[in-house]
Chain A
C-alpha cells in the first residue's frame, strides 16, 4: 500500500525567510504527486502537482516543488515566506493508473514569525 510521510509536524520560519517542507512517499511506481494547503476552518487548496516531465514544478502563491525519484521525495519550497502563508500543508499521492483517489500525509503546520 502506498504511504506518504511528512517528517515535520510543525515548522516556524521568520517572514521573508526561505521555506522547505519535506515529503516522502512509498509506492511501487512513480505516483502522481500533489501539495495542498489548508487554512484554519477552510478546505484544501491545490498548490501544485507533478505528473511527469520536468521534475521542478511551479505552483500558485510563489511555491515550487522538486520531484526526486532516487529519494522518493517531493519537497515544497518558497524563497520568501509571507505572514499569510501560515497554514497547514499536505502532501498527497495518487496511483498513476487508478484515478484521483488521494493518499495524504499527516501534514506540516507552518507558523510565520514577524
Chain B
C-alpha cells in the first residue's frame, strides 16, 4: 500500500523563478493538503484540495497556487520565488475533509531559494 509520495525530494531555485511540486495521495484518499515547514518551525497550512477545487486556504499570498487532478494527485506552484520561500513543503492526504479524517504526510520536498 503506497503512502503519500512527493517529488522531487530536493530542489534549488533562484529568486524570481517559479517552481512546481507534485504529490500523489495515499491509495484510497481523495483530499490533498499542503503545508510549509520553515527550518526549526512547525508546519503551516497553505491550502487543501478536494474534488479538484481549493476548499480551504491559509494565510499565504496568491503567489502560491495549486491544482488537483481527477486521479486526486496534486501540484503546488509558487511564482516569483523569494528567499523566505525556502522550506520543506509537506503534502498530506486524507479521505475527505472532516476533522475525523486523519492526515497522512509524505516525506516532503526541500526547496532552497538562492
Contact = CB atoms under 8 A, between A and B. Distances in A.
Interface string A69-113: 000000000000000000000101011101111111111000000
A44 interface: yes
B75 to A, nearest CB: 18
B54 to A, nearest CB: 12
A95 B97 CA distance: 12
B42 to A, nearest CB: 3
A32 B106 contact: no
Contacts of B58: 101
B41 A100 contact: no
A90 B98 CA distance: 20
A45 B106 CA distance: 9
Interface stretch (B11-19, B43-51, B60-68, B76-84): B43-51
Contacts of A101: 33, 45, 48, 56, 58
How many chain A residues sit at the interface, stated as a range, is 20 to 34
B88 to A, nearest CB: 9
Contacts of A90: 42-43
B90 A43 contact: yes
Interface of B: 4, 31, 33, 35, 40-45, 48, 55-56, 58, 90, 92, 94, 97-108
30 contacts: A32-B99, A41-B107, A43-B90, A43-B92, A43-B106, A43-B108, A44-B92, A44-B103, A44-B105, A45-B105, A49-B102, A51-B100, A90-B42, A96-B99, A98-B99, A99-B55, A100-B33, A100-B97, A100-B100, A100-B102, A100-B103, A101-B33, A101-B45, A101-B56, A101-B58, A102-B35, A105-B42, A106-B40, A106-B41, A107-B40
